[in-house]
Amino acid sequence: MRVCEGDPEDPKRTVGNGIGAINAVLSTKDWSSLTQSKIDPGLRNQAAREAITSGRELVFQYTMFDLDRAIDLFKKALQAEPDSSLAHAYLSMAACGRAHFMSDDGFLKLGEVEAYEAIRLSPDSKEAHRALAGVFYQHGKFAQALEEGLRSVESSGPEERIACFIGMTLDILGRPDRALSWYSLARHLGGPPGDVDARIGDCWVKLCDDERALEAYRRAEELQSNRLQGEVGVCHLRLLQGDFDGARKLGQSSRWSHDGLDEAEQIAAQVEFFDRKFDVAERLYSELSRNDVNGGGSFYGAVTYQSALGRAEQAMGETTDSKTVLQRCLEIETIAVEREPENPEAAYRVAAVESSLGMREPSIHHLRMAVSLGWIDYRSFAMDPRFDAVREDPPVKAILKDLAFKVADMRVKSQSVTMEKWRNKK
């Protein structure tokens, strides 16, 4: 099967935000929707079923600690019932989700092995195909991730979590306008109130409709007060608006400091980096790097900890150390581009490092590549210190001008669709 999802005016474009992607396909709470509920041996075995149920509940908590516990429980379920495709699928999803908190190929390899084992045991299982979709997403194979997600919809109809996953995949491929439709479907199909609203806010941010973005983030804050995704989104929005003090004030909230959410620490560091407070940024990114030396690349702005550290040291005059760090980053990001040729963020990250190293032509080449693959976050580019060397170059200005027109067109069309839906509801 080959599924195309893209611009009808561009038939060559076949397309087939991390743990959010994995959580989106794992955390359905409606057991009656599981196609294997009557036939999977893991749900007929009491010990395995209890471990699977408890593991899934832990994934809802969205923390590294709880994911580790979930992985242990899914492994326990497989000890009790090795032929449970469901347990293999959930172990795959949890392992891939765990890789979001720390860049560890071991978790990704575990996720891949378990996904294929789940499919081997039950080729028609939608949970197995969801697990494989998550593996493809984590490996930057978004066309295949989308295909597996749509395959699940074709086999058993749309459900809230898979609709959310498809939205996330379209979003990273540069179609937040189409992602909004899937997120709206996800909200209509049920699930925890406010669960997709932070992602809806992210789409409106990329479309440069800050009013609608703020509305979505506030809804996420109101309906899920125990989670910080909405507040992190608002902080990121303030940053893109140039309101560094407002963003910084949010990041210094006592609730944030006691939450332990990795995203809260990342956005706090990015505020200082984009505000060119390089000494503070260096300290914050050093702390983040101690826990995950290769982290940061899948967060807002695609700012890896090491590239930020290298650029901050460079700006402070530590040229020898910074060059060593940036050259190492270049090696890593070059490999990432080769390994993930569909990933716009990978191309963008290597362009950022090349710019920091003064490699003008390669940087512009990879920036063009990123845009062709779906990168549209030009507001982050406008502030990112890593791109200081190329930002004012005429070819780059032309790229960004064309991109601004493209985003504006998507925004107008999305606003029109939203308004039409509102009128129909009235």
What percentage of the chain carries pLDDT values higher than 70?
85
Q: What is the dihedral of CA 387, 392, 395, 396, to 10 degrees?
A: 40
CA dist 153 and 126 (Å) reads 8
Residue reference for tokens 């790229």: 399
For residue 44 the two structure tokens come to 């007929």
For residue 130, is pLDDT > 60?
yes
CA dist 235 and 330 (Å) reads 29
Task: Please report the pLDDT score of residue 353 as a whole number.
Answer: 98
- In this prediction, residue 12 has a pLDDT band, given cuts at 50, 70 and 90, of very low
- Domain 18-28+35-170: CATH superfamily is Tetratricopeptide repeat domain (1.25.40.10)
Question: Are the C-beta atoms of residues 72 and 94 closer than 8 Å to each other?
Answer: no
Mean pLDDT of the chain: 86
For residue 325, is pLDDT > 50?
yes
Task: Please report the pLDDT score of residue 194 as a whole number.
Answer: 78
Segment 381-397 shows an average pLDDT of 97
How many CA atoms lie less than 13 Å away from 329 in the CB half-sphere? 32
CA dist 316 and 332 (Å) reads 24
CA dist 340 and 345 (Å) reads 9
Which helix (H) or strand (E) covers residue 22, if one does?
A: helix 19-26
Residue 287 CB neighbour total at 10 angstroms: 12
Question: Are the C-beta atoms of residues 34 and 122 closer than 8 Å to each other?
Answer: no
pLDDT in tens, 14-28: 333 444 544 544 444
pTM: 0.81
For residue 258, is pLDDT > 50?
no
- In this prediction, residue 199 has a pLDDT band, given cuts at 50, 70 and 90, of very high
pLDDT in tens, 326-335: 999 999 999 9
Task: Please report the pLDDT score of residue 228 as a whole number.
Answer: 83
pLDDT in tens, 346-379: 999 999 999 999 999 999 999 999 999 999 999 9
- Give the residue with greater pLDDT, 16 vs 191: 191
Task: Return the domain boundaries, the chain.
Answer: 18-28+35-170, 291-426
Segment 93-113 shows an average pLDDT of 84
Helix axis angle for 160-172 and 176-189, nearest 10°, is 170
- Give the residue with greater pLDDT, 183 vs 104: 183
Segment 57-86 shows an average pLDDT of 89
pLDDT in tens, 262-306: 788 899 999 999 999 999 999 999 999 998 888 898 899 999 999
Task: Please report the pLDDT score of residue 224 as a whole number.
Answer: 83
DSSP string, 174-228: T-HHHHHHHHHHHHHH--STTTTHHHHHHHHHHTT-HHHHHHHHHHHHHH-TT--
Amino acid letter, residue 205: V
Task: Please report the pLDDT score of residue 261 as a whole number.
Answer: 61
pLDDT in tens, 229-243: 899 999 999 999 999
